[in-house]
Each structure stands twice: as structure tokens, then as C-alpha cells.
Chain A
Amino acid sequence: MMLIKCPHCGARAVTEFTYGGAAEIARPADPVGVSDAQWTDYVYMRDNPRGVHDEVWQHSAGCRRWIAVRRNTLTHDVIATADPGKLPHR
């Protein structure tokens, strides 16, 4: 089973967590000024990398905090975890 190290609770089974998607997807700063295509891009379009991926997860069965997880999508290695926005730069 994949273990994720919650920064608050320690290593826990993946079944305690809920996946929240790719990390650091920036909402358009000027929502009135963006086109439909830009909205579509923000809401739906995501990279689907084979390898290292930064994600947000919620420790939904534990402390219920949102956390950032750097994970290898090929090997399921969890490389780093942190509070949201606090992963070290790659």
C-alpha cells in the first residue's frame, strides 16, 4: 500500500487521503478579463506526466488538512510532502 507522510500525523496509508489534483494551478488573477478558452484551460486542462508530479491531497480520515505531495506517478514513490505551497523547488 502507498504510504503518504502527512506533515502533521506522520506516515499513513493512502486510504486515509483524498486526491485533490495537480498542485499550484493558479486561478486567473482577473476573472472578468479571461476568455472561455483560458477558463477551460484553468478548469480542465492538466499535464499527465510519467514521473515526478506535484499534487495536493487532503488527509481526509486524519487531521483533515490539505497537504502538498511530490510523487512519482510511475513508481508511486512519495518524494516529499509539505504544507500546501511549501514543497522545495525542483
Chain B
Amino acid sequence: MCFTIRKGNVSVAVENQRISALAELAVPAIPAVPGRGIVLWQRHPLAMLNLRGPGDRAFRDGVRQVCGCELPSSPNSSNVCEEGEILTLGPNEWLLVADPDTRWSENMKIACATLTDVSHARVVVHVEGEKAREMLAKGCPVDLHAQRFPGGTCIQTSIAKIGVIIHKLHNENDIAIYAARSYAGSLWHWLTASAAEYGYHVVAR
């Protein structure tokens, strides 16, 4: 995909321009509250595909053959593979997440599947640190304690009334939050305000 933007009097061709809704907010150079209780970073750019299908045996086999990655087998779970990640969103809905140069695409032929490219729909912010869970508890109704919410758990819920996907990575203190890009600023301000008491640090990864 290629389009042009104007810079002064000059038209510049831009290929696959991917500007995050957090581009001017999640900036490491902006002085954060001192301390390292919480580390915030955004994962960008990403390829995301919404997958819908029956979830039966034949469908699971089809996904495995085409994507090279197994669908997670239980609710509220995820599967991390070499090709990317598959997050469970519901009984017949999943989110495929991968680097932008992935071979996964909405043109993949999987019987009975509906694939939609939603790469531009969301921002992804990682909240890391020993206080990550305690901080998120201020606005999230789901218990994120390791006993109820072990590494690999993935749920849809809300944080401060913003609809989110929460994915706990296999490192217990690394929590990825997916939100609609139109809510990016609102989510970011809630995260930074909530992290302030612990001290936080914005980094680039």
C-alpha cells in the first residue's frame, strides 16, 4: 500500500505508514515520575487478524495446518508460537497477533473461517513490574493474581470502563493491554495516573 503526504510544498510517497495512536504519548523522552515500580511500553506496529469459526476438530486442524499454530484449547487462554500468538476472545472468536512482516493474512484459506485484518484497530501497551497487578486492580474488575490468572491467560474485560483485552505473558509481571485506538489517549492517561504512586518509566522496545 502506498499513498502520499505533503511536507511543506513537497509530496512524499509513504509506504505502509503505520502511525500509532500513542505516537505522541508513549514517548520515552517525556520525563516520567521517578522510580521504576512500573515500566510502560507500547508494542507497535503489529499485524492483527480477527478469526471466527466453529472451533470444532476439523476447524482446529485447518488452523494448525495453515497457520502453523494450534488454537488455544480452553477459554480465557492463549497460545504463543514461532509464527505469532493466538488469543481466545470467545467460544468461536480468536485474535491472531504477529509481527507486521508475518505470512499470516486475511487471504489464508481455512475452511469455515472468517478472517478480518484488524491491524489498525488497536493499540497494545505492556505494563511491566512487580506492581503491575496491584496498579491494574485499581480499574480492572478481574482478579489478576497468579492463582486465578496464570501466565498465558487472556481475557476481555474493561479497565476504567475502557474495553480491553488483557494478556498475561509467561513472565508473571508482564501484562499486555489491547484497547481500541480511539481510546488510546484515555487509556494512556489512566495508566500513567495510576502508575504515578509507584513511579514509572516509559521505554521503547
- B91 contacts A61, C-beta separation under 8 Å: no
- Partner-A contacts on B (CB < 8 A): 75-76, 89-91, 93, 141-142, 155-158, 163
Please, how many angstroms separate the alpha-carbon atoms of A48 and B114 in the complex? 42
- B141 contacts A9, C-beta separation under 8 Å: no
- Is residue A79 contacting chain B, with contact meaning CB distance below 8 A? no
Chain B: CB-nearest residue to A3: B141
By a CB distance below 8 angstroms, the chain B residues around A10 are 75-76
Q: A1-B141, A61-B163 are in contact. Are A12 and B157 (CB under 8 A)?
A: yes
CB distance from B95 to the nearest CB of A (A): 12
Q: A61-B158, A62-B155, A62-B157 are in contact. Are A13 and B141 (CB under 8 A)?
A: yes
CB distance from A15 to the nearest CB of B (A): 6
- B157 contacts A8, C-beta separation under 8 Å: no
Please, how many angstroms separate the alpha-carbon atoms of A69 and B157 in the complex? 19
- A8 contacts B141, C-beta separation under 8 Å: no
A38-63, CB < 8 A from B: 61-63
A58-90, CB < 8 A from B: 61-65
- B158 contacts A63, C-beta separation under 8 Å: no
Select one of B75, B89, B142 contacting A13, CB under 8 A: B142
Please, how many angstroms separate the alpha-carbon atoms of A62 and B163 in the complex? 8
- B158 contacts A9, C-beta separation under 8 Å: no
Please, how many angstroms separate the alpha-carbon atoms of A8 and B91 in the complex? 6
CB distance from B39 to the nearest CB of A (A): 26
Select one of A12, A63, A65 contacting B141, CB under 8 A: A12
Other A-B pairs beyond A10-B76, A65-B91, 20, CB < 8 Å:
A1-B141, A8-B91, A9-B90, A9-B155, A9-B156, A10-B75, A12-B157, A13-B141, A13-B142, A15-B141, A15-B158, A16-B157, A61-B156, A61-B158, A61-B163, A62-B155, A62-B157, A63-B89, A64-B90, A65-B90
By a CB distance below 8 angstroms, the chain A residues around B163 are 61
- B90 contacts A8, C-beta separation under 8 Å: yes
Chain B: CB-nearest residue to A60: B163
CB distance from B88 to the nearest CB of A (A): 9
A-B contact pairs, 27 of them (CB 8 A): A1-B141, A8-B75, A8-B90, A8-B91, A9-B75, A9-B90, A9-B155, A9-B156, A10-B75, A12-B141, A12-B157, A13-B141, A13-B142, A15-B141, A16-B141, A16-B158, A61-B156, A61-B157, A61-B158, A62-B90, A62-B156, A62-B157, A63-B91, A64-B90, A64-B156, A65-B90, A65-B91
